[in-house]
Amino acid sequence: MAEKNEIKPFFSFRIAEFADYIDIITSKLISLIQFRLEKTMAESDVTVTDDTVGKDSDLLDDKWQELDAVEEWGPALLQEMKREVESHCPLKDQGVSEDKIPYVNVLMLGPVGAGKSSFFNTINSFFKERLAIQARSGSADTSLTKTFDIYSVKPKHSTTPLKFRLCDCRGLEDAQGLDSRDIEAILDGHVKNGYVFNSSTHISKDNPKFRVNPAICDRIHCVVFVVDANSPPDMIMTEKVQDQVRKLQEMMNYKRIPQLVLLTKVDCLSPVFKKDPSTIFRSKKVLDIVNKVANSLGLPPYSILPMQNISNTQKVSEGASIMALYNLRQILRASDDFLDNFIDDLLPDKLDGFHIQAQTTSRD
């Protein structure tokens, strides 16, 4: 009995010691696996050579969309895009004075986490020449945006904002859909910056954020739907969200408001796109998604704009900047097309009786 009692503590000690060794080995293995994984991911971009890009079976011989007359992506194309965005002044070339239409308003709509706020942050970062996170963005299950927020962009070393405003509202959700009456009020220019959405009610004339007599410069001039390219192929948007979008589109079509689609996070579809973003426009995979989204929303394929956001790169790369500025330019052009509907009322000799006043240049 004495021998057995002496053996027990010995084995207990050895078992405890063995368990410690197991913990150490497990920890080492986990560290090694993490290191190998990080190394592999880091090398994945490096191993995508120009030769690899040329041989990628997904790439078509010709681009299915040309960004501009400039053939190659680079500083020249980037500066051309920047120049056009910075010089944009709504309908100025048609004789409409800046104090009548000082900016265009663009409404961003889309499912939670699709990248609405990230698009503004990408544009803002480019013109500020640094990473700028003014609009909240993330991947929460419910919308991070609870208010109607209007964002303008001021370039570095400038106190004057560019002549466009991006309007962000809560994301389209399965559980709590946007009230169509709120959206209609936004489209018509009745909703002021900072309005808080309430799932149980909609904005009314009694709300201090309700604008009673909106001018044309208060209205929404273009709507941009934001869709995540990495959504499951058969579920770009859930059925409930898609139903919301269709109902909103009926309203927008009636008001003749142009609609575009930002197809975000396309660079996550292939490491080739990270090496050379211009190959996105030769990708059959991206083209298939573009056609699917276009068909789903009843829009022409040329209205679908692929996008790479800075949230995926943590820096403002040349490729992301070119795509962002090109997409913004298309949005500004669509906004001007909408304003063309009111050109006869906006010209100086047609202003009598039309509700546009000088004070509209300093709206909230």
| Cβ partners under 8 Å of residue 208, min gap 6 | none
Enter the pTM of the model.
0.77
- The confidence score (pLDDT) of residue 153 equals 94
DSSP letter for each residue of 97-158: -TTTS--EEEEEE-BTTSSHHHHHHHHHHHHHTS----S-----SS-S--B-EEEE---TT-
State how far the alpha carbon of 32 is from the alpha carbons of 22, 63, 104, 141, in Å: 15, 42, 53, 33
Report H helices in the chain: 2-46, 50-55, 75-87, 116-128, 180-187, 239-254, 271-275, 284-297, 318-339, 343-346
- The confidence score (pLDDT) of residue 257 equals 98
Report which DSSP code applies to 196.
B
Q: What is the pLDDT along the chain (364 residues), one digit of tens a residue?
A: 555 555 555 555 455 565 555 655 555 555 444 434 443 443 344 344 444 454 556 787 777 777 665 567 888 889 999 999 999 999 988 888 888 899 999 999 988 777 788 888 889 888 988 877 765 555 444 455 588 999 999 998 888 999 999 999 877 765 566 788 999 999 999 999 999 988 888 999 999 999 999 999 999 999 999 998 887 655 667 788 888 888 999 999 999 999 999 999 888 888 888 778 888 888 899 999 999 999 989 999 999 999 886 655 566 778 888 889 999 999 999 999 999 999 888 877 654 444 444 344 445 5
3-state secondary structure of 304: strand
Q: Where are the domains of the chain?
A: 60-342
- The confidence score (pLDDT) of residue 278 equals 81
**Cα–chain center distance at 346:** 31
CB–CB of 59/282 below 8 Å? yes
Domain 60-342 has CATH 3.40.50.2300: no
